[in-house]
Amino acid sequence: MDKKILKGILFAVILIFVLISFLYKEREYEKKEKKHIYERIVSLSCTTEILCALGAEDKIVAISDIDKESPYYEILKDKPRCGGGIRNVNVEKVLGFKPDLVFCWRGQADILRERGLNVYAVGTYDLEGVMGLIMDVGRLVGKEREARRIVSFMREEIKRISERLKKVKNRPLVYFEAHTLGKTRGKGSLTHDLITRAGGINIAKDEVVPFPLLSQEFIITKNPDVIIVEEYGASPEEVKKRDGWQNIKAIVNNRVYRSHVYFTSYTHRCIEGLKQFAKWFHPELFKE
Amino acid sequence: MRKNLVLISLSAGLFLTLLATLTIGPIRIPFGTVVKILFSKIIPIPQTWPNNFYEIIINVRLPRILLGILIGGALSVSGCAMQGLFRNPMASPYVCGVASGGAFGASLIIVLGLPQVLIMPVAFLFSLLVVFLVYHLAKIGRRIPVETLLLSGIAFSLFFSALTSFIQYVAEEGQLRQIIFWLMGGLWASNWNKVLSVFPVIFLGILCLLYFSRELNILLLGEDHALDVGVDVENARKIILILGALTTSSAVATCGIIGFVGLIVPHLMRIIIGPDHRFLLPASCLCGSIFLVWVDTFARTLISPTELPVGIITALIGVPFFLFLLRRRKRLSGF
């Protein structure tokens, strides 16, 4: 009996220590972040694009494979690469560049932090978060003014769109399909935020998980007015041919569209996505 | 007599399963309406239901359930035949590299960005290719010893899994997710096209495997005995192996890798109906179909309208039940 209690206490103590150490780590990093301007940056996430847009591409010493799709690839193509995707990262290579700051995804943060690297992990899931990210990046590389300009441009666009949508009564139901049939993005994702701000209603808005896999029955019953498929998934033509989907309004009215990856990525270019979504949802309001 | 009874009740069970699961789903459709919709194709019945109910029953649920029946039956029968063939309770077509071959083929198509319609045939081809390689490497002279076959199967599985991992490593984010989804396996993307394209292969494969039940029975006695009785052991083995690989690879090519069914169901049936393959094979087929369809029904309704990967439920429901039976019998019968 005593032993059990002892074990329990020990376990609790360890748990508390672990929690504290986590909290401590986050704190320490936030404090550092405020003053310093970083010069040698390894950028593994969508931040590469933001850095280029801010005019800080000279500070980037290495990038990741995902930047192949970047519009700035021309100026980036000679930079060395050390990783790709959301989880893969070549820690040795990163260390070799002696960066004073590493931008990465959340999944890569811990392994880099363990090596004593200064890490900024990207973890945003809405439009506000993207703007916050741009401001953060600007502050960290000493390009605050540029960052503010981009963000204020984004805010203007968002405002312009939301003002036009004020009068709109009927918002179309939207089904967004990622890489696989039924795989969509719900509340707690940037895509959901974009759909909502562009004047649509996401059919997955009530799902508990941010990235649910919807059943076909549900999609057919919801009868979305617009279907958006991501460019690396099924093509609109394939969607139109699916069994049981023939009576869906989006297919009857030929409103199946293909979305670029950058439309829903965590950079300033997601504004392009917002504009395009708004055009798809309300063609009569956004004719230009 | 008792065995016939089991078979008859399993057939009835499959029919009831078909009817019952048609009425279960994220969207509630009453039983009467389902029956009316089904018969409206044959005899004219005035339409009293919304259009989307018809689409859901005929074009979403029905192909999904039929595909479940086909895949469940295919996996169980070929699993059962392989276990009997190798006289090894762990044997399955997956061990011979069918799954890893198919996975590699599918990943390749995804990462090269080729149209998705190619995934099925290419996965099928690669599954067969791996079995072919395994088979020829395991062959010593005219014989195929069980040990070398299983070992080379495992070696090839590992090799192709490594290749698939490599593809995943170089894949871009969207492709990676697509590959992972394909590997997870499931019936959520069923359609009539899939049902019609796998039906002939699986149906003929199962029929042919059932035809070889006597040979499987004799093989259970051991090779020497089988030779004494006058069975061409190597030939029979070759044909059964090819048939098993064919049915499984078409299942893998359509639905990805669905584990456990091919392993658990045959053991379950062996415990219930005994090791006689004349009854064991058809029983496994029926039970596999019933099992997979029900498990898939859980997968699509448990937290609807979100779908769960069917593999999670197969393991969660199947394994405890299987272990329970195993403990009650203390040993696997028939080996």
User: What DSSP string describes chain A?
Assistant: -HHHHHHHHHHHHHHHHHHHHHHHHHHHHHHHHTT----SEEE-STHHHHHHHTT-GGGEEEB-GGGGG-TTHHHHTTS-B-EETTTEE-HHHHHHT--SEEEEEHHHHHHHHHTT--EEEE---SHHHHHHHHHHHHHHHT-HHHHHHHHHHHHHHHHHHHHHGGG---PPEEEEE-SSTTB---TTSHHHHHHHHTT-EETTTT-SSSS-BB-HHHHHHH--SEEEEETTS--HHHHHT-TT-TT-HHHHTT-EEEE-GGGGSSSTTHHHHHHHHHHHH-TTT---
User: What is this model's ipTM?
Assistant: 0.74
Q: Report how far residue A37's alpha carbon sits from residue A19's, in angstroms, rounded to the nearest whole number.
A: 30
Q: Is B306 on the interface with A (CB under 8 A)?
A: yes
Cα A168–chain centre separation: 28
Chain B residue with the nearest C-alpha to that of A217: B56
Q: Is A5 on the interface with B (CB under 8 A)?
A: no
Q: A170 CB contacts (<8 Å, ≥6 apart)?
A: none
Beta strand spans in chain B (E): none
Is B172 close to A84, i.e. CB distance below 8 A? yes
Largest CA distance in chain B: 68
**Cβ neighbours of A234 in B, within 8 Å:** 116
Q: Report how far residue A264's alpha carbon sits from residue A232's, in angstroms, rounded to the nearest whole number.
A: 13
Which pLDDT tens digit goes with each residue over B264-323? 899 888 888 888 999 999 999 999 999 999 999 988 888 877 888 887 888 787 788 778
Q: Report how far residue A175's alpha carbon sits from residue A233's, in angstroms, rounded to the nearest whole number.
A: 14
The residue type of B315 is: A
- Is residue B334 assigned to a domain? no
Q: Report how far residue B117's alpha carbon sits from residue B135's, in angstroms, rounded to the nearest whole number.
A: 29
Residue A34: pLDDT band (50, 70, 90) is low
Q: Is A129 on the interface with B (CB under 8 A)?
A: no
Give the nearest partner residue to B181 out of A65, A180, A215, using CB atoms. Answer: A180
What is the distance in angstroms between the Cα of A63 and the nearest Cα belonging to chain B?
A: 15
Largest CA distance in chain A: 76
Interface A:B, Cβ pairs < 8 A: 107
Chain A residue with the nearest C-alpha to that of B170: A84
Is A216 close to B188, i.e. CB distance below 8 A? yes
What domains, with CATH codes, occur in chain A?
167-281 (3.40.50.1980)
Q: Is B112 on the interface with A (CB under 8 A)?
A: no
Question: What is the share, in percent, of chain B residues with pLDDT greater than 90?
Answer: 24
Q: A234 CB contacts (<8 Å, ≥6 apart)?
A: A177, A181, B116
DSSP class of B59: I
Is B173 close to A244, i.e. CB distance below 8 A? no
Is A217 close to B191, i.e. CB distance below 8 A? no
Residue listed under structure tokens 């069917």: B310
Closest by CA position to B96, among listed B210, B271, B240, B287: B240
Task: List residues bridging with A213 in a β-sheet.
Answer: A183
Whether the CB-CB separation of A137 and A51 falls below 8 Å is answered with yes
| Residue ranges of B 117-156 with Cβ closer than 8 A to chain A | 117
Q: Is B248 on the interface with A (CB under 8 A)?
A: no
Q: How far is CA B40 from CA B10, B31, B192, B221, in A?
A: 28, 14, 18, 53
Domain that holds residue B57: 2-329
Closest by CA position to A230, among listed A185, A188, A200, A173: A185
Dihedral (CA of B136, B141, B146, B147) sign: negative
Tell me, what CATH number does B260's domain have? 1.10.3470.10
**Cβ neighbours of A65 in B, within 8 Å:** 172
**Range with the poorest average pLDDT among A181-190, B113-122, B126-135, B287-296:** B113-122
Is B174 close to A230, i.e. CB distance below 8 A? yes
Q: How many CB atoms lie within 10 A of CB B90?
A: 10
**Cβ neighbours of B63 in A, within 8 Å:** 243
Is B178 close to A216, i.e. CB distance below 8 A? no
Average pLDDT along chain B? 85
Which pLDDT tens digit goes with each residue over B85-95? 888 777 788 88
Which pLDDT belongs to residue B331? 56
Chain B residue with the nearest C-alpha to that of A230: B174
Closest by CA position to B333, among listed B266, B285, B275, B293: B275
- Is residue B335 assigned to a domain? no
Chain B residue with the nearest C-alpha to that of A232: B174
Q: How many helices (H) and strands (E) does chain B have?
A: 15, 0
Give the nearest partner residue to B169 out of A88, A180, A244, using CB atoms. Answer: A88
Indicate if the pLDDT at residue A27 is higher than 50. no
Which pLDDT tens digit goes with each residue over A94-152? 888 888 899 988 878 888 888 888 889 888 888 999 999 999 999 999 889 999 999 99
Indicate if the pLDDT at residue B253 is higher than 90. no
- What is the count of structural domains for chain B? 1
| Residue ranges of A 172-201 with Cβ closer than 8 A to chain B | 178-183
Residue A31: pLDDT band (50, 70, 90) is very low
**Cβ neighbours of A220 in B, within 8 Å:** 52, 55-56, 60
Q: Report how far residue B156's alpha carbon sits from residue B162's, in angstroms, rounded to the nearest whole number.
A: 10
Which pLDDT tens digit goes with each residue over B103-125? 899 899 888 878 777 888 898 88
Which pLDDT belongs to residue A154? 93
DSSP class of B29: -
Q: How many CB atoms lie within 10 A of CB B112?
A: 11
Query: Between the CA atoms of B30, B32, B38 and B43, what dihedral angle is there, to the nearest 10 degrees?
Result: -150
Taking each helix axis from N to C end, the angle separating A190-197 and A270-281, rounded to the nearest 10 degrees, works out to 40
Q: Is A252 on the interface with B (CB under 8 A)?
A: no
**Cβ neighbours of A243 in B, within 8 Å:** 59-60, 63, 191-193
Whether the CB-CB separation of A90 and A82 falls below 8 Å is answered with yes
Query: Between the CA atoms of A66, A69, A73 and A77, what dihedral angle is there, to the nearest 10 degrees?
Result: 50
Tokens standing for residue A143: 């390009």
Residue B202: pLDDT band (50, 70, 90) is very high
Average pLDDT along chain A? 85
End-to-end CA distance of chain B: 23
Q: Is B320 exposed, middle or buried (0-12, 13-18, 19+ CB in 10 A)?
A: exposed
Q: Is A86 on the interface with B (CB under 8 A)?
A: yes
Q: Report how far residue A62's alpha carbon sits from residue A84's, in angstroms, rounded to the nearest whole number.
A: 12
Q: Report how far residue B181's alpha carbon sits from residue B184's, in angstroms, rounded to the nearest whole number.
A: 5
Tokens standing for residue A238: 């394939």
DSSP class of B307: P
Q: Is A122 on the interface with B (CB under 8 A)?
A: no
Is B193 close to A183, i.e. CB distance below 8 A? no
Whether the CB-CB separation of B233 and B224 falls below 8 Å is answered with no
- Is residue B94 assigned to a domain? yes
Chain A residue with the nearest C-alpha to that of B188: A215
Q: Report how far residue A231's alpha carbon sits from residue B276's, in angstroms, rounded to the nearest whole number.
A: 53
